[in-house]
Amino acid sequence: MIMDDLVVARVLHVLGVVIWIGGVGIVTAVILPAAATFRSPEEHLRFFEAVERRFAWIARGMTLIVGLSGFYMLWKFDLWDRFARLSFWWMHAMVAVWAVFTFVLFVAEPLFLHRLFVEHARENPEGTFRLVQRFHWILLLASLITIAGAVAGAHGYAFFE
Ligand code: HEM
């Protein structure tokens, strides 16, 4: 059996998802709660920025790989009609999760989010870090539900039928 382009695209897609969402999981469940134990807000902010800056580059790279491989499969398998059916909600969910991360990582963060975050973290460190933590949990949960739906759906499970 030969490894065709669609197999390569699927392998890259899943590897990208593992590294990217796995990273979001570690940041959300381990690093942010650990950083919250720092006493001084300056130290907290410096540590958060150092971790998030490094991870943001990994997440940007993986977002590109997942998006390119996803659209390639979509186009080659010609799956566009799935978007007209609610039972393929996981296809909509993949594109939605990808779009939110792409917007945050490539547009919002460099343009205004980082500046806003630093300003608010100086004024109200606890409230700002709580908000950031909540935002990470929501994105992580949405991503995990999407992954569960996509694996079941891609392997033949028909939702609502
Ligand atoms: C532009 C964004 C994306 C597009 C166009 C896209 C497209 C696709 C397509 C066409 C498939 C194959 C479906 C099938 O075989 O029936 C797939 C599979 C999958 N995608 Fe995405 N995807 C995108 C983003 C994401 C994201 C953000 C995640 C994770 C949160 C994700 C997770 C998965 C998983 C887990 C599979 C199943 C792989 C398998 O078990 O074979 N995708 N995607």
- 102 domain residue, yes or no: yes
- pLDDT tens per residue, range 36-65: 898 888 898 899 889 988 999 999 999 999
Does any ligand 1 atom lie closer than 6 A to the CB of residue 9? no
Q: Ligand 1 centroid to 154 CA: how many Å?
A: 8
Percent of the chain with pLDDT over 70: 100
Does any ligand 1 atom lie closer than 6 A to the CB of residue 95? yes
Q: Which domain holds residue 105?
A: 5-154
Three-state DSSP state, 152:
helix
pLDDT of amino acid 82: 97
pLDDT of amino acid 3: 80
- 63 domain residue, yes or no: yes
- 119 domain residue, yes or no: yes
Token pair recorded at residue 83:
């978007």
Q: Ligand 1 centroid to 111 CA: how many Å?
A: 28
User: Has this prediction a pTM greater than 0.85?
Assistant: yes
The protein residue whose alpha carbon is closest to atom 14 in ligand 1 is 154
